[in-house]
Amino acid sequence: MKIIKLTTYRVPPRWMLLKIETDEGVVGWGEPVIEGRARTVETAVQEMEPYLIGQDPARINDLWQTMYRAGFYRGGAILMSAIAGIDQALWDIKGKVMGKPVYELLGGLVRDRMKMYSWVGGDRPSDIIDHIRTLREGGFDTFKMNGTEELGMLDTAAAVDKAVERVAEIRAAFGNSIEFGLDFHGRVAAPMAKVLLRELEPYRPLFVEEPVLAEQAEYYPRLAETTSIPLAAGERMYSRFEFKNVFHAGGLSIVQPDLSHAGGITECLKIASMAEAYDIALAPHCPLGPVALAACLQVDFVSYNAVLQEQSMGIHYNRGGELLDYVLNKEDFRITDGYMKPLSKPGLGVEIDEARVIEASRNAPDWRNPVWRHADGSVAEW
């Protein structure tokens, strides 16, 4: 079997799907994308084509290493997202050829169902209580929200209190009948992270995500010494070589690689195994589309340390497109009592509605995250 064609489809709300065709008619789908940089990743995928056309899609490891090493320069959000989507599609092809879901090719199920969580609130978390109530009726009991608005490198007690009060309201409304993670989203600089963590301690969030920016990872062990709140990160780290340094330095309790940013299934399986050796839990990041989620779930169901899975149904980013819009086997993505079952159809387990994808790609928006500014006019971390 040989790879004969790669086609990318940028689709609403902000995703990109990749179709890899073979000379024997087997097709694989991937989701190579960086939110807000879809066109850049699209070009990176196109630049990877010479390594792939005419090659045997079964040789995923060799193709992965070639895409990673042959161009001399390596790593980073764009190249690793391009490799990620291609890798996903190659695993999809392999599973379809062998008539098995990817998790069967990786040693079979380690669990029978996977715990899912849902975003609540938006960029500026508000009306969270009602949103949680609604989602609880749908079976969720675990949530994630932005932990704060934009925050200055040194900010006021009032700003800290505003963030903490929201969390206090949630605990007052729901007690410990729910769990929630707080995503600092990189908005909190090192001087404020310790302050905010201390004030949040009494409310026992399930985790705090990206407590500081990924480029400040050396603070993870220092912050972990000051709090019992589990610290989580990973969506802005792109290879096992980056994760290696963070695991070795310590401080992370939960690692959140993104299956569409960190090299795909092949790379994230290695990251998951490395994390397990350090007793670090796995909670793949996935605010993206159905192929990205399917790839996450294939890794979750073979990774002992997988504890939570993000999914984007109802997320505040999904304007103009929802997770299941491009999926034919929607029923397989049902979340019951906050859990998903394994996707057991061959390959990644997602059947793409290609006609819908092609139609939606005709006028895909170029999504961009907003540019926030502090009161003094300087750019703020969004």
Catalytic residue annotation: 185, 285
Q: Which of 30, 205, 287, 349 lies at the binding interface for ligand J0M (CB under 6 A)?
A: 287
- Report in angstroms the alpha-carbon separations of 332 from 313, 344, 348: 14, 8, 12
209, 250, 242, 185 alpha-carbon torsion, rounded to 10°: 10
Given the rule CB under 5 A, which of 55-63, 205-213, 295-303, 331-339 is the region that contacts Mg ion?
205-213
Please indicate if the annotation marks 235 as binding a ligand. Answer: yes
State which residue, 124 or 330, has the beta carbon closest to Mg ion: 124
Q: How far is the CB of 209 from ligand J0M (least distance, A)?
A: 6
In DSSP notation, 8-32 reads EEEETTTEEEEEEEETTS-EEEE--
- Give the three-state DSSP class for 209: strand
Find residue 380's DSSP bridge partners: 372
When the beta carbons of 122 and 250 are compared against ligand J0M, the nearer one is: 122
Q: Which does 31 bind (CB under 5 to 8 A by kind): Mg ion, ligand J0M, none?
A: none
The residues, any chain, with a CB within 8 Å of residue 25's CB and separated by 6 or more, are: none
Q: Are 229 and 258 in contact (CB under 8 A)?
A: no
With H, G, I as helix, E, B as strand and everything else as coil, classify residue 7.
Answer: strand
List the structure tokens of 211: 């407590």
Is residue 261 near ligand J0M by the rule CB under 6 A? no
Residues 25-44 that bind ligand J0M (CB under 6 A): 35-36
CB 305 within 8 A of CB 110: no
369 binds, among Mg ion, ligand J0M, none (CB under 5 to 8 A by kind): ligand J0M
Contact 348, 95 (CB under 8 A): yes
Taking the C-alpha atoms of residue 39 and residue 184, their distance in angstroms, rounded to an integer, is 27
d(C-alpha 286, C-alpha 27), whole Å: 23
Q: Are 349 and 101 in contact (CB under 8 A)?
A: yes
Least CB distance from residue 1 to Mg ion, whole Å?
38
Task: Give the number of residues in contact with ligand J0M, rule: CB under 6 A.
Answer: 10
Site for ligand J0M contains 285 (CB under 6 A): yes
Q: Please pick, from the candidates 87, 183, 242, 267, the single residue that binds Mg ion as defined by CB under 5 A.
A: 183
* Segment 236 to 295, residues that bind Mg ion, using CB under 5 A: none
The phi, psi pair for 319, rounded to 5°, reads -85, 125
Query: Phi and psi for 291 in degrees, rounded to 5?
Result: -75, -40
Binding-site string for ligand J0M from residue 162 to residue 191, where x marks contact by CB under 6 A and - marks none: ---------------------x-x------
- Decide whether 63 or 252 has the Cβ nearer to ligand J0M: 252
Which H or E run includes 100? none
The verdict on whether residue 209 carries a ligand-binding annotation is yes
CB of 324 to ligand J0M, least distance (A): 18
Name which of residues 227 to 246 contact ligand J0M (CB under 6 A).
235
C-beta of 125 vs 338, nearer to ligand J0M: 125
Task: Please report how close the Cβ of residue 236 comes to ligand J0M at its closest, in angstroms.
Answer: 8
What Rg do the C-alpha atoms of the chain give, in angstroms? 20
Nearer to ligand J0M, 192 or 308 (CB): 308
**Annotated binding residue at 359?**
no
Known binding positions for Mg(2+) = 183, 209, 235
Residues forming the site for Mg ion (CB under 5 A) = 183, 209
Residues forming the site for ligand J0M (CB under 6 A) = 35-36, 183, 185, 235, 285, 287, 310, 317, 369
Known binding positions = 183, 209, 235
